[in-house]
Amino acid sequence: MYYMPTNIKNSITIDSIYTIHYFEYHKNYYFTGEKHDFWELLYVDKGEIIVTINEKEILLKQNQLILYSPNQFHSVRANGSVAPNTVIVSFGCRDKILNKISNRIYFINSYEHSFLSGIIREAKFAYKNNLSDPTYRKLKKQNIKDIPASQYGAEQMIKCFLEILLIEFLRSKKYAKKNSISIEQSQTHLQTRFEFISTWINEHIDTNFTVSDLCTKAMLGKSALESLFKENTGMSVIAYCRKMKTEAAKKMLREDIYNVSQISELLGFSSVHYFSRTFKKLENISPSEYAKSVKAVIDHATLIKSR
């Protein structure tokens, strides 16, 4: 009797592993973002985290997971109140079917969680890297002579766990189908952040800061910050800051404590000329003329009162 072999077809093949991390973030953690030509999986083990994909925000809570596509810009930040723990695995895979499960929020059960735990466990066996170190750029393999029998085949275990997990996602319907990007949550977070950053600008209007500084404060990329200000003020970030500085200058001029040169310096303008030009562009009148017009109004009111 003869037996014929049946070849096994691989539905998903992981070609390589780039990074495996287990992070315990500070409550104010913020990563400005990156993009790369390989896949990346992010799972929230504790707390919650806000990820941004192509300038759209997604709120991930405990036991939720998302998959980033290659060359897709993404950033991550904590919510400012809860310190989250995350698992991040980045890998190479040429199977286009993964596009079907990217950018969706997946709810992880205990069975699927066991594969994620297995990946972290086996990574500690297979590699020398500290999994909480965000700076490493390549996994360093353990010396095969130092690996005990109980840890044999750790790299293959990682590959198998990851492939099984991805197949489970392809089989599963446990994702937020219609609203993987939570528009309502995003708008709430963005509005809160606009209120925060606009208040910060007004409170620090007499200091020198850049758009990059504001991006860091707001925990947003430059394009996202510009969109936020356009939506809420109808103007760019720089235009808004200039307007607020001009309003502060008008207040100072009305208070008649500082002269034009002093106000220019106090508000962080590079020169009196630049300050005057900015002021006139917005108010159609120079700072000196504005001060005179305010004084004229006061003098006129005093004259009327004395009659």
Q: Bigger pLDDT: 21 or 191?
A: 21
Strands 30-34 and 56-61: what pairing? Answer: unpaired
Q: For residues 51 and 75, is the Cβ–Cβ distance under 8 A?
A: yes
Q: Tell me what the pLDDT averaged over the chain comes to.
A: 85
pLDDT of residue 225: 85
Res 175: pLDDT: 55
Check residue 295 and give its pLDDT.
Answer: 64
Question: What does the pLDDT average to over 95-115?
Answer: 91
Task: For residues 265 and 19, give the distance between their C-alpha atoms in angstroms, rounded to a whole number.
Answer: 49
- Distance (Å) of CA 259 to CA 153, 287, 288, 299: 76, 9, 9, 19
Q: Is the pLDDT of residue 250 over 90?
A: no
Show the domains of the chain with their CATH numbers. 16-171 (2.60.120.280), 183-304 (1.10.10.60)
164-185 residue pLDDT tens: 999 999 988 655 544 444 444 4
* Residues in contact with 287: Cβ distance below 8 Å, sequence separation at least 6, in sequence order: 249, 253, 260, 263, 275, 276, 279, 280
- Residues near 171 by Cβ (< 8 Å), separated by ≥ 6? none
Contact criterion met (CB below 8 Å) for 98 and 39: yes
Mean pLDDT throughout 244-255? 85
Dihedral of CA atoms 212, 217, 220, 222 in degrees, nearest 10, equals -20
The predicted-structure confidence for 43-81, as pLDDT tens digits, reads as follows: 999 889 999 987 788 899 988 999 999 999 999 998 888
Q: What is the pLDDT of residue 209?
A: 84
The pLDDT > 90 percentage for the chain reads 42
Sign of CA dihedral 277, 282, 285, 286: negative
Taking a C-beta distance cutoff of 8 angstroms, is the pair 294, 253 a contact? yes
First to last CA, the chain: 125
Helix axes 183-203, 237-255, angle to 10 degrees: 40
Mean pLDDT of 126-142: 93
The residue assigned the tokens 């309003």 is 247
